[in-house]
Structure 1
C-alpha cells in the first residue's frame, strides 16, 4: 500500500500509517500483543493518536483483541467468499459501464503486472481490482471492500511474493471479457480468479503451519 506524504496530516493518521505499514511489512508479526504506551514511546506520539490509530486498525481487522491478526483458514475462506460476491458483481457491472479511459487503466495495470518490480506489481494488482469495484457504482459495496483493504493486502502479498501461476494472465482474461462487454464471463472469470487466489493462499497457510 502506497505511503503518503505525512506533512500536515493529523497525528493519528501518521501513527496509523506507520503501524499499519509495520504490520503489513511483517515488522510487527501476527500474534504480537499491542501495547499503547510502548508504541507511543517508540513512534514519538502521544497516547491519544496511538489509541485512535489502533481503533482504525481494529476496524479494518488488522488488530483483534489487542493483538496483530493471525488469520485462520476460516477467516481466509470467509474473506474470499465476501470478495467473490462483491467483486464478481462488480466485474459484471464493469462489463456494462466501465469507461474507455478505465479500460486503458486496466490494460496498464496488466502491463505493469507483467513487467514491474514487486512494489509496482502490488500497486498494479490493487489498482486493477479497485477500478473494477468502483465500476459497481454501489457505495456500500465499495466501502465494504475498502474496509477490507489492509487484510486483502496481506493475501495479495502472499500470491505475488510466491508467484502464483497465471495471476496476471487471469487479469488479462477478465479485462478482455470486460472490454468485450461480456457480463456473465467477466463475473465468472473474476470469481474463478479469486477462488484460485484462495486455494493458493490456503496451500501456503497449511504448508507454514506444518513446519
Structure 2
C-alpha cells in the first residue's frame, strides 16, 4: 500500500559566520552592545564557541553594514551615531522614502498593499503593548514595507546598504517619544495615502516624517554632546 504524504522540506545549511553575524547584529541593534563599546575577537570566539577566523568574517560583514568600525591597534568598536551621521541618514531617508512612497502609491500591487497593512497593524500592536524593542523593529518594518511596495529593485538594493544603520537610528529616535500612540499617528497617514493611491501626499508625508524626526534626534544628540 502506497501512503501519500507531503514532501519533506529542504534543510538549509547556514554557515557559522552567517549565524554569528545574525546574532551579533541583533545584539547591536537592540543595544546589548552599547554604542562606542569595544568588541574583541577572542572574547566573542570563546563565548560563541567559534574560531577567531569565523568571528572575524562576521565582524567584517557588520562593518560593511555600518554597525562596526575597525580602529587600527585598538580593535572593533560599535558605531556611535554622531550629529553628522544622523543628518546624513535622515536627509538620505527623506529622499529615498519619499520616492518609495510615491512609487508604492502608484504601483498598487495587491500583495504589497497587504504587506503594508500588516506592517502597520504590527506597529500598532507593538505600540499598544509598549515594548520599546518591538516598537522599534515594527517601526523599521513599516518603512521597509513601503520600500518593498515601491517594486523597484535598485531602490531596494540601495536601501539595503543602510538598513541596519536605520534600525539603530529608529531605536534612538523612538526612544525620544514618550507616548507610543504618537508613533501610530505619524505612520497611519502615510499608509492611508499610499493605499488611496495619492502619490503626492504619500511622498510629502514620508519626507516630512523623516526630516522632522531626524532633526529631533540630531538636536537631542547635540544637547548631550
State the TM-score, normalizing by the size of structure 2. 0.81
Contact kept, 8 Å, 1:23 with 1:29, in 2: the verdict is yes
1:156 aligns with one of 170, 195, 198: 170
Distance 2:141 2:135 in 1: 10
Structure 2 residue runs of 5 or longer lacking an equivalent are 1-11, 71-75
Distance 2:178 2:153 in 1: 31
Distance 1:187 1:37 in 2: 47
1:143-184: CA deviations, max 9, x gaps?
Answer: 221121221111211233332663221211111111221111
Residue 51 of structure 1 pairs with residue 61 of structure 2: no
Q: How does 1:114-133 map to 2 (within 5 A)?
A: 114-116=124-126, 117=129, 118=131, 119-133=133-147
Q: Larger deviation: 115-124 or 76-85?
A: 115-124
Aligned partner of 1:175 in structure 2 is 191
Give the deviation of 1:70 after TM superposition. 0.9
Moved over 4 A (4+): none
Aligned partner of 2:81 in structure 1 is 71
Give the deviation of 1:56 after TM superposition. 0.7
Contact kept, 8 Å, 1:13 with 1:53, in 2: the verdict is yes
Aligned partner of 1:90 in structure 2 is 100
Aligned partner of 2:6 in structure 1 is none
| Matched position secondary structure for 1:29 | coil
The 3 A distance-change label for structure 1 pair 92 and 164 is: farther
Give the deviation of 1:18 after TM superposition. 2.0
Structure 1 residue runs of 5 or longer lacking an equivalent are 1-6
Q: How does 1:1-211 map to 2 (within 5 A)?
A: 8-65=13-70, 66-116=76-126, 117=129, 118=131, 119-163=133-177, 166-209=182-225
The 3 A distance-change label for structure 1 pair 59 and 84 is: same
Aligned partner of 2:3 in structure 1 is none
Distance 1:104 1:137 in 2: 14
Give the deviation of 1:11 after TM superposition. 0.5
Distance 1:111 1:135 in 2: 16
Aligned partner of 1:4 in structure 2 is none
1:24-64: CA deviations, max 9, x gaps?
Answer: 22222222233222221222110121111111111010112
Q: Which of 1 and 2 has greater Rg?
A: 2
Contact kept, 8 Å, 2:112 with 2:148, in 1: the verdict is no
| Matched position secondary structure for 1:45 | coil
Aligned partner of 2:4 in structure 1 is none
